Structure 1
Amino acid sequence: MSVKKVEEYLKQFHIEHKIQILDQSSATVELAAKAVGCEPARIAKTLSFYVGPQPILIVAAGDVKIDNKKYKQEFGTKAKMISFQDVEKVIGHAPGGVCPFAVNRGVKVYLDQSLKRFKTVFPAAGSGNSAIEMNMKELEQCSKAEKWIDVCKEV
């Protein structure tokens, strides 16, 4: 269902045909990299947080993690992830398929600078066995991102 929702959403950008339905799971960075045949860093993982009552998504490279100090500087609060059981209800996609497209109304999307070192990256497309290859301009446009931020550090 969620892939169909993403496909419908991406039609406005004329790139819905780029969605890949994979034969194997892409629910983690490592599995996704293996499934699409790229290095794990090029997987654009989408992380779900609350800033106060506001749900947000941060899309970051697969080889980084949230830097708590940078996060607090950017958002003025400690990083609080949305619980696994609440992600689908709050964001609109189930864990493993969370992506910055076709999300619930009111969810703000941010793109981390860690992605900018790549020509293209692979975010999920709404399920634990989907991906879509995008360049930075497509990702920025299709995610309707608020802005680029710097809240991650290398693992």
Structure 2
Amino acid sequence: MLSHPNVIAVQHALDAADARDHTGAGCRVIVLADGVHTAAAAAAALGVEPAQIANSLIFEVDGEPLLVLTSGGHRVDTAKVAAELGVAKLRRATPEFVREHTGQVIGGVAPLGHPKPVRTLIDVALAAYDQIWAAGGVPQAVFPITYPELLRVTSATPAEVA
């Protein structure tokens, strides 16, 4: 699975950004035995709290993608995020829209490694953890990173999303 094109794209993006984990080592995508399509499943497989999982959720805003990296400990308040962005409504993206804009499938959407940059918000609740985990391009792949590093490598805007 490490040779999957999506995993390679994510690892390349992490390397190009010189992304670091909580120990200061370079971030490495790892492959789990099974796919982890939810924060709870990822947390159980990794032995961490669900809130340490950075869910990558794609929304459609006026025909453009918006990536919200939210803590697995809660749900996105779409009305709150829409108000913060000054738009009428966030629409949950279809699987086809997600694949078109990220090259990845729902359940494995990484915060980076997309064909072109995607506007990104990052949940400030993730800052409470020394280490967080994000998807690596397919449902079986994840990588550890810190909040400041994820903020930096994604050029995300910090936001209260719940």
Could you tell me whether the CA contact under 8 Å between 1:25 and 1:35 is conserved in 2? Answer: no
In structure 2, stretches of 5+ residues that fail to align are: 20-25
Q: Does 1:42 align with 2:52?
A: yes
Residue 118 of structure 1 deviates from its aligned partner by 1.4
Structure 1 segment 78-89 matched on structure 2, within 5 A:
78-89=89-100
Aligned 8 A contact 1:112 1:149 in 2: yes
Any stretches of 5+ residues in structure 1 without a counterpart?
A: none
Q: Aligned partners of 1:63 and 1:17: how far apart in 2?
A: 23
Secondary structure, aligned partner of 2:149: helix
2:77 to 62, 67, 78: 67
TM-score, normalised by the number of residues in structure 2: 0.85
The one-character-per-residue Cα deviations of 1:51-86 (angstroms, maximum 9, x if unpaired) are 112211000100111113312211222120111233
Whole-angstrom distance in 1 between the partners of 2:106 and 2:113? 15
The total of aligned residue pairs comes to 151
Match of residue 58, structure 1, among 61, 68, 83 = 68
Q: Does 1:12 align with 2:12?
A: no
1:109 aligns with 2:113: no
Q: CA deviation at 1:91?
A: 2.0
State the match for 1:22 in structure 2. 32
Q: Where do 4+ consecutive residues of structure 1 move more than 6 Å?
A: none
Q: Is the 8 A contact 2:133 2:144 kept in 1?
A: yes
Q: Larger strand proportion, structure 1 or 2?
A: 1
The alignment yields a C-alpha RMSD, in angstroms, of 1.6
